Amino acid sequence: MNETQLETAWKGLFEAAFRIKDMAPWEWMVETDLFGIRDGGETCYVSVMGNLGEHLGISVYRGDAALSRFLDLRDIPEETIMEYPELLLQIPQLQLSFENREDLQEWDRRLIRTMGYRARGGQAWPLFQSYRPGFMPWRLEPDEIPVLTRALEQLADVAPRARAGAFQLDIEEREDLLVRARTADGA
């Protein structure tokens, strides 16, 4: 990806992120409201966090193994997860979260300014991170930007429809999972 393509990719990701922030799907969705996106060979699973108002974010679990690890967390007592938060770091995922300004690194604040965006207030600053087992969360690699962008675009389409009752996404109440796939004509 050359410099111009990279800038275009970042702008698309920021636009999608701010659309999600304005939509605020965490007001009616919970972490177990999952759906999948199959694009190319990989299936990613989208989860919305923040229903309690503490951590506003979107996780995109990359692949069936990552989904399985996420689902396994349901069987672990919450006290254990609070005591060992590194369990969450073991799940390969891309994440968009909305943070306070002071919680971002200078690199992240500079990226926001460079892209021409402004954020004001608490939990208003977009933070994009890649989680890989064995590593601390880090900024996105260029090839991860379009994956997270597509997931956010699909969330912008699915969330209002789920709110209106067109989809039941809660895996606690279903045995199957909605998976959206790109058609041969690119739709």
What is the pLDDT at residue 163?
A: 93
What is the pLDDT at residue 41?
A: 82
What is the pLDDT at residue 183?
A: 75
Helix intervals (H) in 26-140: 64-72, 78-83, 86-89, 106-114
Please write the tens of the pLDDT for every residue from 148-183: 999 999 999 999 999 998 888 888 887 788 899 877
- If DSSP codes are grouped into helix, strand and coil, which group holds residue 184? coil
% residues pLDDT > 70 (the chain):
98
Q: What are phi and psi of 106, to 5 degrees?
A: -55, -40
**Mean pLDDT for all residues in the chain:** 90
Average pLDDT over residues 125-143: 93
Residue 13 reports pLDDT greater than 90: yes
Residue 96 reports pLDDT greater than 90: yes
Q: Residue-wise over 142-174: b if at least 16 C-beta within 10 A, else e? A: eebbebbbbbbbbbeebbeebeeeeeebebeee
> In the chain, where do the E strands start and end?
35-39, 42-49, 56-62, 93-99, 125-131, 179-181
Domain boundaries, the chain: 3-166
* pLDDT band at 81; cut points 50, 70, 90: confident
Enumerate long-range contacts of 65-68, CB under 8 Å, 24 or more apart: 65/92, 66/91, 66/92, 66/93, 67/34, 67/36
What is the pLDDT at residue 156?
A: 97
Residue 186 reports pLDDT greater than 70: no
29 class by beta-carbon count within 10 Å (0-12 exposed, 13-18 middle, 19+ buried): buried
